[in-house]
Amino acid sequence: MAVTVSPERDVVATPVQRAFREALYAGAIALGLFVLFIGLRTDQNISNELILVRRWGLLALVVVLTAVGRFLYVAYAQPFAASLKVADVATGLLPESMATRFFRLPYFIAAIVIAFALLVLAGSLDGLLGPDLAGYARFLRALAIIYAVASVMFYFRSFIHAHFSALGVSALALYPVIVVLTLALYTGSVAGGFQGSLKWVDNFGIQILIYVMLAWGLNIVIGLAGLLDLGYVAFYAVGAYAYALLGTHFGLSFWILLPAAGCMAAFWGVMLGFPVLRLRGDYLAIVTLAFGEIIRLVLINWREVTNGSARISGIPKVSFFGLMSFNVSDPNYIAKVLNIATSSAYYKIFLYYLILGLCLLTAFVTIRLRRLPVGRAWEALREDEIACRSLGINTTTTKLTAFATGAMFGGFAGSFFAARQGFVSPESFVFLESAIVLAIVVLGGMGSLAGIAVAALVMIGGTEALRELDFLKRVFGPDFTPELYRMLLFGMAMVIVMLWKPRGFVGSREPTAFLKERKTVSGSFTKEGHG
Amino acid sequence: MAGTMLLDIKGVQTYYGNIRALNGVDVTVNQGEIVALIGANGAGKSTLMMTIFGAPRARAGTITFAGTNITQMPTHEIARLRIAQSPEGRRIFPRMTVMENLQMGASIDNLKHFDEDAEKVFALFPRLKERINQRGGTLSGGEQQMLSIGRALMGRPKLLLLDEPSLGLAPLIVKQIFDAIRELNRSQGLTVFLVEQNAFGALKLANRGYVMVNGNVTMSGTGKDLLANPEVRAAYLEGGHH
């Protein structure tokens, strides 16, 4: 093992001196950048005049924080990161990795104890510590729970890696059950468990799964066929409006309209596909972007049909295959049929399993299609269109099927969305939605279902979790709303992930065909040394 | 069998915008032959290769394959008549494995004869079998060329078009590839039309050859005759061969 000497040693300046210099530079740059953004603010005074508000104190704080951050980074973080890559001279071993240092048994036990203690004390926290400290205590509790879960995942990482799909699907299937049981234990009543589960099942579960489904649908178009589609939300809108209009006007059931909405979206996928057949890359992106906007503007302006911005409301709920209803007034309302207490949570839990089923359908179809000629043709099309044609593949139909299949799943997701919301309006189908879904696909790793699901969990779940950070209000004042910063954090997270893993969480493509036994390379071939 | 005309190119003109790349080219390839087309950079060799496949399309003249006029056919339908191509730059699918690349080659028949044909390709290029689960993009240049030819063979072609199979390869690998082409022609009677800058190797391999200059075919004859021709020697061979 080679012994590397870090280059810093030879440089005249010690890391601390260098850090001091760089901190000054960073402070100067921050001053220049933020003097207008933070140092000055325009405002209106009482007589409606525009005045300049000077915020030199805030500016100074930002500049000092930047300089200190740079100092710490250069003086301590960088040498530390470098030391991790230098092997020990005596043993020839690399130092312990950060992860194994971070996840240790004593820490794990401490986290469990803290979490448990704070859970037990939950009711009396406010009385013991006062509202301020109780907020911090709850945050500490959340951190302890996250740390404990992360430790367990780290400890079983190879097992999780090997059985990712099975574990993921079982976790998703059990999620509402676990939530309801936990909350029932916590509140001490079954009804309380159901009531408390609303937020977790609806805001987190269903919300994330809708994006998983959209991203998996878009993955067919972008990840497999390589067609950069920036207007994917259009198909989502088509599916949602198809269900909303047909459901409200003709009273048709969700189970009939779901495939109908899918077909409708697939039809529009083909309609979009035809004019863009010859386009690729950035040109295709522009046209699909325009298509998405056209659909949205039609929805806004065609008031006679879509009711414009006034939204379509009163969209019928999904029934349990016609056997049980989720409307309290219906004779076959679920609580009456099963003879249980009335709760709005049943519908949410049902919707959760419905979207989970739709997601699994999308995944199943994607996995199967990849092994079929059409799926292989999609992937080959992404790699090299000219080669595809010269191998006898009809690239026209291949592209159209990709657009249609992707759009169909967008349509399914759209009709589910309409059923869940109970109303649709054009505001739900803005370009930002397309961008978020695209970002999830890219972050997860194009073509990888598992990576995309993780990306959706992190991105959508992460931004939802920001709403929970109430204690920040105590730090930054009652006007502080963490949700407003979620797009900023979303962007920062994307930059970090793209720097750290440029091809997404799962960057490598899983081959669809293997020769059963892997042949070893015989010496006669390796010896040649050619090629 | 030998002697019947398989590919007949008559008076073909091809344009890139307003620039004429081929000025009425006549080339014939007979059943069971190896025909080489040699010429300098920019002579129009690759353009002719691509015109046969309809991209770019010929503006004048006709291209007939086994009695069918293919001048106006879409590329994928031309390929379905069992003309296979190892295109310029090889154009293998870099993120797909060797196995998947070969599957793509067999997609005309929907993998009906896949196992049988794959064994034939592996017999011809044993190196590909060693690399079977490796991604195309991680192969060496020579292996990529073998894969490109192997992929073309998976569609059971009647005519194999090869565009510069020796490009950028070590002499030993070029010899392996040319030996493989000769073997295919001899044992399976496969008709091969190849474009080459490596005039010496190509003409030695070929039954007949054409010389192309500035979009025109200026000379034709048997491989031996062209090799002996003083003009050809002066332009393409002197000091060039090994």
Q: What is the 3-state secondary structure (H, E, C) of A454-480?
A: HHHHHHHHHHHHHCCCCHHHHHHCCCC
- Mind telling me how many Å the CA of A375 is from chain B's nearest CA? 11
Q: What pLDDT is attached to residue B240?
A: 47
User: Which among A422, A462, A423 has a CA at the least distance from the CA of A439?
Assistant: A462
Measure the CA–CA gap between A452 and A443, rounded to whole angstroms.
Answer: 7
Where residue A298 falls among pLDDT bands split at 50, 70, 90? very high
DSSP state letter for A38: I
A504 DSSP assignment: -
CATH at B77: 3.40.50.300
Shared domain check, A126 and A76 = no
Q: State both tokens at A264.
A: 């409708």
**Residue A163 φ/ψ, nearest 5 degrees:** -115, 40
Tell me, what's the pLDDT at A521? 38
A286 domain residue, yes or no: yes
State yes or no: cis peptide before B230, omega within 30 of 0. Answer: no
Alpha helices in A122-163 (DSSP H): 125-155, 157-162
pLDDT at B102: 94
Q: Are B63 and B167 part of one and the same domain?
A: yes
Q: How confident is the model at residue A13 (pLDDT cuts 50, 70, 90)?
A: low
Residue B67 falls within a domain, yes or no? Answer: yes
Identify whether residues B145 and B235 lie together within a single domain.
no
Domain with B68, as residue range(s), is 1-82+158-173+189-242
Task: Give Cα A452 to chain centroid, integer Å.
Answer: 8
**Per-residue confidence at A522, pLDDT binned at 50, 70, 90?**
very low
Tokens 């001899």 -> residue: B186
Q: Which candidate from B91, B107, B142 shows the least CB-CB separation from A393? A: B107
Chain B residues lying within 8 Å of A384, measured CB to CB: 91-93
Q: In the prediction, which pLDDT does A405 show?
A: 96
Residues A111, A233, single domain; the answer is: no
Q: Is A469 domain-assigned?
A: no
- My answer on whether B76 and B96 are in the same domain is no
In a domain, A506, yes or no: no
A436: how many CB neighbours lie within 10 A of its CB? 20
Question: In B, which residues are within 8 Å of A528 by CB distance?
Answer: 172
A191 occurs within a structural domain: no
For tokens 């088509």, what's the residue?
A238
Are A197 and A349 spatial neighbours (Cβ–Cβ below 8 Å)? Answer: yes
Distance from CA of B173 to the nearest CA of A (A): 8
B223, B208: one domain: yes
In a domain, B14, yes or no: yes
Residue B183 lies inside a defined structural domain of this protein? no
Instruction: State the ipTM, two decimals.
Output: 0.90
Residues B53 and B102 in one domain: no
pLDDT reported for residue A377? 93
In a domain, A19, yes or no: yes
Residue ranges in chain B whose pLDDT is less than 70:
1-3, 238-242
Residues A90 and A109 in one domain: no
Q: Distance from first CA to last CA of chain B, Å, rounded?
A: 35
Sign of the CA dihedral with A30 first, then A32, A33, and A37 last? positive
**B126 Rama class: left (phi>0) / alpha (psi -120 to 50) / beta:** alpha
Q: How far apart are CA A469 and CA A486, in angstroms?
A: 12
The number of distinct structural domains making up chain A is 3
Write out chain B residues lying below 8 Å of A376, CB-based.
100, 103-104, 107
- Residues of chain B whose beta carbon is less than 8 angstroms from a beta carbon of chain A are 53, 55, 74-77, 79-80, 84-85, 87, 91-97, 99-100, 103-105, 107-108, 110-111, 126-127, 129-130, 132-133, 135, 139-143, 151, 155, 170, 172-173
Contact: B142, A383; criterion CB under 8 Å: no
**C-alpha to C-alpha distance for A438 and A442, rounded to whole angstroms:** 6
* Placement of tokens 């307003």 in the chain: B18
Quote the CA–CA distance of B124 and A411 in Å, as a whole number: 49
Same domain, A232 and A352: yes
pLDDT confidence of residue A302: 93
Give yes or no: residues A36 and A84 share one domain: yes
Q: Which two tokens stand for residue B150?
A: 């192997």
CB A265 within 8 A of CB A399: no
Residue B152 forms part of a structural domain: yes
- Do B64 and B99 sit in the same domain of this protein? no
Residues A270 and A308 in one domain: yes
Residue B137: closest C-alpha in chain A: A383
Asked if A77 and A113 count as a contact pair (C-beta separation under 8 A), the reply is no
Shortest Cα–Cα distance, B160 to chain A (Å): 12
Same domain, A357 and A395: yes
Domain membership flag for residue B194: yes
The residues facing B30 across adjacent strands are B5
**Chain B closest-CA separation from residue A513 CA (Å):** 6
Contact A385, A258 (CB under 8 A): no
pTM for this model (two decimals):
0.84
Which residues, in sequence order, are bridge partners of residue B69? B64
- The answer to whether residues B37 and B105 belong to one domain is no
Q: Is the pLDDT of residue A517 over 50?
A: no
Section A166-172 average pLDDT: 91
Beta carbons of A493 and A462 less than 8 angstroms apart: yes
Task: Over range A237-242, report the average pLDDT.
Answer: 96
**Domain total in chain B:** 2
Q: Is residue B123 part of a domain?
A: yes
In this structure, the answer to whether residues A32 and A140 fall within a common structural domain is no
Give the domain extent around A124. 105-153
- Please tell me the least confidently modeled range out of A352-361, A408-417, B39-48: B39-48
The pLDDT assigned to A363 comes to: 95
> Which segment, A130-134, A304-308, A519-523, is predicted with the most confidence on average?
A304-308
Contact B9, B52 (CB under 8 A): yes
- pLDDT more than 90, % of chain A: 41
* Of the listed ranges A86-95, A308-317, A380-389, the one predicted with least confidence: A86-95
**Is residue A449 located within the same domain as residue A332?**
yes
Residue B22 Cα distances to A202, A259, A496, B75, B194, angstroms:
66, 53, 52, 19, 17
Count of beta carbons in the 10 Å neighbourhood of residue A295: 22
Q: Whole-angstrom Cα distance, residue A256 to residue A146? A: 42
Nearest to A392 among B95, B97, B108 (CB): B108
Of the partner residues B130, B143, B172, the one whose CB lies closest to the CB of residue A521: B130
Provide the pLDDT for residue A71: 93
Q: CB B107 to CB A394 under 8 A?
A: no
DSSP class of residue B131?
Answer: T
Give the nearest partner residue to B91 out of A384, A394, A395, using CB atoms: A384
Helix axes B98-105, A373-383, angle to 10 degrees: 110
* Same domain assignment for residues B67 and B165: yes
Residue A494 has pLDDT above 70, yes or no: yes
pLDDT at A479: 73
Phi, psi of B207 (to 5 degrees): -75, -45
- At A104, the pLDDT band (50, 70, 90 cuts) reads confident
A240/A414 Cα distance (integer angstroms): 4
Chain A positions in Cβ-Cβ contact with residue B142 (cut-off 8 Å): 530-531
Which of the pair, A80 or A376, is modelled with greater confidence? A376
Span of A160-164, A323-327, A427-431, B36-40 with lowest mean pLDDT: A323-327
Name the closest residue on chain B to residue A393, using Cα atoms. Answer: B76
- A89 and A112 share a domain? no
Is the CB of A376 less than 8 angstroms away from the CB of B91? no
Residue A133 lies in a domain: yes
Contact B147, B89 (CB under 8 A): no
At A83, phi and psi to the nearest 5?
-65, -25
Whether B182 is covered by a domain: the verdict is: no
Q: What is the pLDDT of residue B76?
A: 93
Angle between helices B171-188 and B141-153 (to 10 degrees): 10
Give a yes or no: residue B180 inside a domain: no
CATH number of the structural domain spanning residue A302: 1.10.3470
User: Do A87 and A221 fall within a single domain?
Assistant: no
Q: What is the DSSP letter of B57?
A: P
Position A502 scores a pLDDT of 81
Q: Which chain B residues contact residue A446 at CB under 8 A?
A: none
Q: Do B87 and A373 touch (CB under 8 A)?
A: no
Calpha distance B15→A282 (Å, rounded): 27
Q: Please answer yes or no on whether B87 and A387 come within 8 Å at the CB atom.
A: yes
What is residue B42's predicted lDDT score, i.e. its pLDDT? 87
Last residue of a domain, one of A47, A74, A95: A95
B72 with B169, same domain? yes
Fill in the amino acid letter for A501.
K
In three-state form (DSSP H/G/I as H, E/B as E, the rest C), the secondary structure along A398-423 is: HHHHHHHHHHHHHHHHHHHHHHHHCE
Instruction: Return the higher-pLDDT residue of A440 and A517.
Output: A440
Q: Is residue A432, in this structure, part of any structural domain at all? A: yes
Pairwise CB contact (< 8 Å): A530 & B111: no
Whether residues B145 and B166 fall in one domain: no
Same domain, A288 and A147: no
For residue A423, pLDDT over 80 is answered with yes
Task: Assess whether B108 and B162 both reside in one domain.
Answer: no
Q: Does A392 touch chain B (CB under 8 A)?
A: yes
A31 is a domain residue: yes
Contacts of B76 in chain A (CB under 8 A): 389, 391-395
Distance from CA of B35 to the nearest CA of A (A): 20
Nearest residue on chain A to B82, alpha-carbon basis: A392
Q: Are residues B166 and B234 in the same domain?
A: yes
Give the pair of three-digit tokens for residue A426. Answer: 């054009």
A19-72 pLDDT, tens digit each: 899 999 999 999 999 988 888 888 888 888 888 888 888 899 999 999 999 999
Contact A531 B141 (CB under 8 A): yes
